[in-house]
Amino acid sequence: MRFVDSASIVVKAGKGGDGCLSFRREKYITDGGPDGGDGGDGGSVYFVGQKNLNTLSDFRFKRLFKAKNGENGSSNNKRGKSAKDLIIEMPLGVKVYDFDTKEIIGEITQHKKMLLVAKGGFHGIGNTRFKSSINRSPRKTTKGTLGDVRNIAIELNIMADVGLLGMPNAGKSSLIRKISAAKPKVESYPFTTLYPSLGMVSFANKNITVADIPGLILNASDGAGLGFEFLKHLLRTKFLLHVVDIMPNDNSNPAENYLIIEKELKKYSKELFNKPRLLVINKIDLINDENKTIKKFLKSIDYNDDYIAISALTGKNCKNLIIKLFEFIEKNG
């Protein structure tokens, strides 16, 4: 399964409008001079940096982006209207390649900074402008030129401060929904999340980004399931949350589930395994004797480190989790 941190799109700039062939026709003037106007320029396609975007999910379904053509010139020396440029917003950090030649076209690094990706066609010339002392009635015009058409590949290294790990159905997307404004899909069955998404978590005027990814399963490190491809992105995060469902509805054992994920991490990459991470025990609203159940769970995985017990559904302890995240990120840059 592919992750939406790359996309390929087609950008099509507009054609220039044609120059017009026309002669003045006025009463009593038999040989009116030329009055064909120039065409207008075709619209170009630009990418522009937009700091509030952070994924390429807009390009998952919409692939063709077309700027308008310039209008043709007309009589009375009327110039055709130039078309507006088409401006497409991109998250910062996007690398832009020519899909066919693989050449890099540019990188979107700054908010509002524009990158030309397809130049609009140049306008055609009307016959008026071919008039000279030796040719007073030129029939010559030029056509507008075609706009660039380009296959473009865009790539975004998803930079998340925090990555969520866990079995399918553990409640990762629910957690993102609770602590950020992002609204990834949540369902009661596994493999709901097919593409990663980012949530921006704000606290005391600061922001951190948290990445929600498809759940990992046994043998994920060998490529099983959906989550595998995203593991490499987690290498760039600073902190991981391992979300464990304390009351799995498939009656699996939370301790076994926890150990499977830890094992997959280790198998996939030492570096990832050694990344700081916090154990998040989720769905505590479903258990009666919270202390006892959690204690038993921790004992069975032989865990003495830091953890937090939350409910991503009711929001219990989620504020404390946010505080912990910010503390960690502050301390570790």
- Interface residues with ligand GTP (CB under 6 A) are 166, 168-174, 186-188, 190-193, 214-215, 282-283, 285-286, 311-313
| Calpha distance 217→191 (Å, rounded) | 10
Q: Which does 190 bind (CB under 5 to 8 A by kind): ligand GTP, Mg ion, none?
A: ligand GTP
Q: Which does 120 bind (CB under 5 to 8 A by kind): Mg ion, ligand GTP, none?
A: none
Supply the minimum distance, in Å, between the C-beta of residue 55 and ligand GTP. Answer: 16
Angle of CA points 278, 288, 285, to nearest 5°: 50
Q: Which two tokens stand for residue 169?
A: 């159905």
- Binding flags for Mg ion, 262-291, as an x/- string (CB under 5 A): ------------------------------
Supply the minimum distance, in Å, between the C-beta of residue 279 and ligand GTP. Answer: 15
Count of positions on this chain that bind Mg ion (CB under 5 A): 3
Candidate residues 82, 193, 197, 317; the one interacting with Mg ion per rule CB under 5 A? 193
Supply the minimum distance, in Å, between the C-beta of residue 220 and ligand GTP. Answer: 11
Select 6 or 192, whichever has its Cβ closest to Mg ion.
192
Select 119 or 172, whichever has its Cβ closest to ligand GTP.
172
DSSP state at residue 72: P
| Calpha distance 219→263 (Å, rounded) | 9
Segment lying near Mg ion (by CB under 5 A), choices 19-27, 122-130, 171-179, 201-209: 171-179
Select 45 or 243, whichever has its Cβ closest to ligand GTP.
243
**What are the DSSP calls for 294-331, one per residue?**
HHHHHHHTT--S-EEE--TTT-TTHHHHHHHHHHHHHH
**What are the DSSP calls for 231-282, one per residue?**
HHHHTT-SEEEEEEESS-TT---HHHHHHHHHHHHHHH-HHHHTS-EEEEEE
Supply the minimum distance, in Å, between the C-beta of residue 270 and Mg ion. Answer: 27
Which of 1, 3, 41 has the alpha carbon at shortest distance from 19? 41
Select 20 or 312, whichever has its Cβ closest to ligand GTP.
312
134-154 CB burial, b ≥16 within 10 A, e <16: eeeebeebbbbbbbbebebbb
Select 40 or 214, whichever has its Cβ closest to ligand GTP.
214
Q: Which does 250 bind (CB under 5 to 8 A by kind): ligand GTP, Mg ion, none?
A: none
Candidate residues 72, 128, 173, 317; the one interacting with Mg ion per rule CB under 5 A? 173
- Binding flags for Mg ion, 119-158, as an x/- string (CB under 5 A): ----------------------------------------
Supply the minimum distance, in Å, between the C-beta of residue 193 and Mg ion. Answer: 3
What's the CA dihedral at 155, 159, 165, 167 to 10 degrees?
-30
Select 150 or 172, whichever has its Cβ closest to ligand GTP.
172
Q: What residue has token string 């301790």?
A: 255
Which of 123, 124, 126 has the alpha carbon at shortest distance from 23? 126
Supply the minimum distance, in Å, between the C-beta of residue 177 and ligand GTP. Answer: 7
Those residues with Cβ within 8 angstroms of residue 30's Cβ, 6 or more apart along the chain or in another chain: none
What ranges in the chain are assigned the alpha helix state H? 172-179, 228-234, 254-268, 270-273, 290-300, 318-332
Amino acid residing at 165? L
Q: Is 169 a binder of Mg ion (CB under 5 A)? A: no
Residues interacting with Mg ion, by CB under 5 A? 173, 192-193
